[in-house]
Homo-oligomer: A and B are copies of this chain.
Amino acid sequence: MTLHHPSLLVVGSVAIDSIITPFAAREHSVGGSATFFAMAASYLAPVRLVGVVGRDFPDSAVRDLRQRGVDLQGLEVVPDGLTFRWKGRYHANMNTRDTLETHLNVFESFSPKLPDTYRTSEYLFLANIQPNLQLQVFEQLQAARLVGLDTMNLWIATAREELREVLRRVHVLTINEEEAQQLTGEHNLVRAAKAIQELGPRSVVIKRGEYGALLFHEHDAFSAPALPLEDIVDPTGAGDAFAGGFMGYLSRGVDPSGAALRTAMIYGSVLASFCVQGFSYDQLANLNVTRIQERFDAFSRLTDFARAELT
C-alpha cells in the first residue's frame, strides 16, 4: 500500500452481527463501524484502528484486517469479555431495518486508548460511538488536519450536549437523512445542512442509502448517486464503507477543497456499492485498485450528460 501517505485513524465499534434480509441470513457476521470503515479505506490510505473486542472475536477477522494492512495495535482484546453484538432484520426494500437485539458487552466499559504511534495521526474518523468516548480521542491526539465524524439517533436523543461539543471540533459530519432532521429539527435537507454547519463542521455529508448521498460544503452542493445494483445482499456497513472511501481519499494528502470532496464522495459511493454486494466485509476484503477505478468509471457513466443549446 501507499505507505508514503499520512495515516488515517478510525475509532469506532468492532462487532459480531446477526443479519436477516428478505433473501438470506447470516449469524456471526463480523461487523462494526470501524471494521467496515477500515476495510474500505485501506485501498486508499494506511489505516489505524482503535476499538475493543472480546475473547469470542474470530482470529480470521484479525487476519483479514491485517491482510489489508490495517494497523491493529489499537484493537484492545478483553480476554474475559464478549464482543459487541447486534442483530437486525432488513425490510423488503433493503433500505430500512429493525434492530432485534443489541448487546454492548465489552463496549459497555470501553474507553479508547491511542497507542503512542497513533498520536500523530493527521487524519481521524470518529465512527459511530458514544460522544463522550469521541471526546476522549481528541485529548490523546496531537493535531489533526482533517477530522470526520459519524453519529446516530441514540446519541442525538441521549447525549446531545456531548455531541455538540464533538461537532465543534470536526471538519466533516457524515449523517443519515433522518438523523440530520432529528439533530436540527429541520425536514428540509438544505436547511438541516446549514444548521449543522453552524454547529461546527464546514462540510456535511447526508447519506440517503439507496438514493445516494449529498454533500454540502460551504455554499456548494454536490449529489452522488447510489449505483443501481440488481443484487443487494446486505446493506450493513454501507454507511461506514462510504465514510472509509470518502476519508481514505481525503487522507492521501489532497487539499480538502470542493473538488477533492466531490471525488471523495464518489470513492465513498464506490466502496459502499461493493459493501452491499456481500455479507460482512466479504466484498470489501478482496478488492484491488483496478476494480475500484472501474467502478469509479461506472459512476461517471451513471451521471454523465451533455449540455444542449436551446436556440
Contacts and interface: CB of A to CB of B under 8 A. Distances in A.
A204 to B, nearest CB: 11
A211 B214 contact: no
A225 B223 contact: yes
A45 to B, nearest CB: 10
B305 A293 contact: no
A302 interface: yes
B307 A191 contact: no
Given A211-B211, A262-B306, A289-B310, A228 B223 contact: yes
A231 to B, nearest CB: 8
Nearest to A44: B310
Interface in A231-289: 231-232, 249, 254, 259, 262-263, 265-266, 289
A304 interface: yes
- Copies of this chain in the oligomer: 2
Contact of A228 (B190, B262, B296, B301): B190
A230 B303 contact: no
A262 B189 CA distance: 26
A83 to B, nearest CB: 32
A301 to B, nearest CB: 8
A297 interface: yes
B212 A305 contact: no
B92 A262 contact: no
Nearest to A186: B230
A228 B232 contact: no
Given A188-B232, A229-B190, A289-B310, A223 B302 contact: yes
Nearest to A230: B190
